[in-house]
Amino acid sequence: MVADFLVIGSGVAGLRAAIGLSGAGRVLILTKGSPAEGSSIYAQGGVAVASEEDDIALHRDDTLRAGKGLCREAAVQVLVEEGPARVQELIGWGACFDKAGEGYAFAREAAHSRDRIMRAGGDATGTEMVRALLAQARSLPQIAWRDHHFTVDLLKDGEGRCSGALVLDESSGAVKPVTARAVVLSTGGAGQIYARTTNPPVATGDGIAMAYRAGATMEDMEFVQFHPTALYLPATPQFLLSEAMRGEGGILRNIKGEAFMGRYHEMAEMAPRDIVSRAIWNEMVATSARHVYLDVTHLDPGFIRERFPTIYATCLRYDVDITEEMIPVCPSAHFMMGGVWTDTHGAASIPGLFAAGEVACAGVHGANRLASNSLLEGLVFGARAAEAAAAYAKGTESLRDGSKAWKAATDAESRSDQLAMEKLLNSLRRLMWAKVGIIRNREGLLSALVQLEKWEERLKGRRQTRRELEIQNMVTVGRLVATAALQREHSLGAHFRSDFPDEFSAGWDRHIQLSASAGGAVRVV
């Protein structure tokens, strides 16, 4: 297969990139599974954009403050300046956001100083944004789709430029090359490396792992955001309970029924996510509990059902009526602040490779993402990556399908140790949660790295089923997170070291970069 542009992933960032590229040539979107399985559709809270009563300078300052000074200011400025126009563009394509009278309804979430969160369907913002983007993308004849196509690895030409990808057709098992003038990675995050995560099953870090193997630079991999409030019930999915619930007056209580956030931060429930997550963790340890409670029973039941219809219906399905009883919650891995390093135009360190969305690290989030900036990032940097990829492609010649296909294993070979692979995956997720999770220390990180490196060696060269490829990618991403976390010997934002609890120690403002092209060396910039 040959295309002018290859977009890997079909969330908000990927769809916006594909739409932008459609005017410059033939675009092929690859999605493992189906577009309905990605993380974007699960985004509940909303999209942060300065309202008429707000100011982009305040949005910028809130983002920088939440990021603990580690954001790249140029990237944040791009986000807040271009964000409003991108949201209006989306509205022009048919996105329907909730109204309040004649205007749009704006809510507030943690660490925001103003009401600037636009939402759709109460708590279904991501779903609505993806719907509108999908409709727009599917109306464009230059965009082609390949669902159920898993990207195995990136391809490079003789001059080291990214020239496409090796792709597994999940239906037939065939593995073939797809060549392109430029590639945009928009594969999302890697929450599945943790035992508890709000991410869907497809969030296995594939884009980060394949870009790393290709020699691209990774940055800020130690910063993994844990969402404070995911539903905690035995044998139920780890369903996200939007931060907007606390923004509307929800109270966190320990198992004794005590409100505790006032002891940890002056903003109480509205403190940044890293502080709230650690406060919950501390309360769980202090009370020997596996969860705390989120209490909205003091709010009007009709308001709760209207404002949070998805959350209300989902909890009710599991016999929790949130208007009458407190909700058991526990922190869960939620968002990767680090990823494939890019400049403010989405260009990675490999010529011809671009990245946008959660897979990328343009420096917008720093050490701790401000709530509801992720969907905005996907829109803004998806569009920017498209512009940069189109400009880059003008200087490249048409590519031919000249790469050799990779030989897949037979079904019998793939099935022979399927259970062993699942056992390895479960062990990986428990290891990451226990030793590379909310609270870390040198001893735990070193022991985790020893085991991760053993697993990487065991999986080396095993390129068979989609599942085995995903597990290989998760082990690689886990090692990158642990390696960077070991190097940062202080606490900052989402990265907390119990052996180095002080913030802003010497070198706090440096970025940790990792690159396989440098022999896996760590670089501090």
Q: Which residues are catalytic?
A: 273
| Chain centroid to CA 173 | 28
Q: State both tokens at 108.
A: 């507030």
Q: Is 339 exposed, middle or buried (0-12, 13-18, 19+ CB in 10 A)?
A: buried
Q: What is the 3-state secondary structure (H, E, C) of 336-367?
A: ECCEEECCCCCECCCCCEEECCCCEECCCCCC
Q: State the DSSP code for 268.
A: G
Q: State the DSSP code for 114.
A: S
Q: How far is CA 106 from CA 5, 31, 118, 131, 405, in A?
A: 37, 33, 5, 21, 51
Q: How far is CA 442 from CA 58, 448, 452, in A?
A: 37, 10, 15
Asked if 114 contacts 60 with a C-beta cutoff of 8 angstroms, the reply is no
**Cα 503 from Cα 499, distance rounded (Å):** 12
As a whole number of Å, the CA-based R_g of the chain is 22
- Dihedrals phi, psi of 181, to nearest 5 degrees: -75, -30
Outline where DSSP puts E strands in 194-323: 218-219, 224-231, 251-253, 292-295
**Cα 312 from Cα 44, distance rounded (Å):** 12
Strand duo 47-48 + 117-118: pairing:
antiparallel
Q: State both tokens at 495.
A: 């990265």
**Cα 120 from Cα 186, distance rounded (Å):** 23
**Cα 121 from Cα 388, distance rounded (Å):** 33
**How many CA atoms lie within 13 Å of 181's alpha carbon, on the beta-carbon side?**
20
**How many CA atoms lie within 13 Å of 478's alpha carbon, on the beta-carbon side?**
36
**Cα 87 from Cα 394, distance rounded (Å):** 28
H or E segment and range at residue 185: strand 182-185
Give the dihedral sign, CA 312/315/318/323. negative
Asked if 111 contacts 271 with a C-beta cutoff of 8 angstroms, the reply is yes
For helices 466-487 and 442-459, give the axis angle rounded to 10 degrees.
150
In the chain, what are the helix, strand and coil shares in percent, each to the nearest 5?
40, 20, 40
- CB neighbourhood size of 81 (10 A): 14
Under 8 Å CB-to-CB from 501, ≥6 apart: which residues? 491
Give the dihedral sign, CA 227/230/232/234. negative
